Amino acid sequence: MRLSDHKVLITGGSAGIGLALARAFASRGNRVLIALRSADRLEAAAREEPGLHTATCDVRREDQIRQLIEQAGATLGGLSILVNNAGIQWNDTYGETDAETVLTHVDEEIGVNLTALVKLSALAIPLLRQEQESAIVNVSSVLALTRSRAPPSTAPRKPPCARSPRRCGTNWSSERRQYGSSKCCRPWWTRR
């Protein structure tokens, strides 16, 4: 798959791995739209990298996911690469964090780290099918592969991707096998 002249949507693209990917794609002549729920952080990223398009989106909300995919298609003139990078982690500990907080955080983590990934991918496929080359890239976390004192919501962050990268892209990769779209990134620690 060539790495230029693509239309790229990156969730969680205003900092860290997401912003690094956005910069790398943009430097190779791709049109890039980054999405995040924080308008302030998006504006800061756009000031740093003036060529990036931005969209505010809370990936826990299906209506905003739908709007994001539509916006990507309109702004970029289609969509050829979806990078599911958005992710959150709460460092709750059983016995130290009150139960109500844990319950809220479980819903938030699974909503962002798993449910949003599935919904974004499903809604993006019609646009991806229109492209000569296309891919879905799912960025996971090393915490999906290790033990933690945190409640179980942290361990299964994007579990199909982290534990079995091929499973995460199986349906899409069977259609787009020639593009190798079943790969998954497993980043190690990105902060000190």
β-pairing, 53-56 with 81-84? unpaired
Can you give the pLDDT of all 192 residues of the chain as single tens digits? 888 999 999 999 888 899 999 999 999 999 999 999 998 988 888 888 888 999 999 999 999 999 999 999 999 999 999 999 998 888 887 778 898 998 898 899 889 988 999 999 999 999 999 999 999 998 876 655 566 555 555 455 555 555 444 445 445 455 554 444 444 455 544 444
pTM of the model: 0.81
CB atoms within 10 A of CB 43: 13
CB atoms within 10 A of CB 85: 27
Distance (Å, rounded) from C-alpha 163 to C-alpha 165? 6
Distance (Å, rounded) from C-alpha 48 to C-alpha 34? 13
* E strand or H helix that includes residue 9: strand 7-11
- Give every CB contact of residue 115 below 8 A, 6+ residues apart in sequence: 60
- Domains parsed from the chain with CATH numbers: 7-185 (3.40.50.720)
Please give the backbone phi and psi of residue 75, each rounded to the nearest 5 degrees, phi first.
Answer: -70, -40
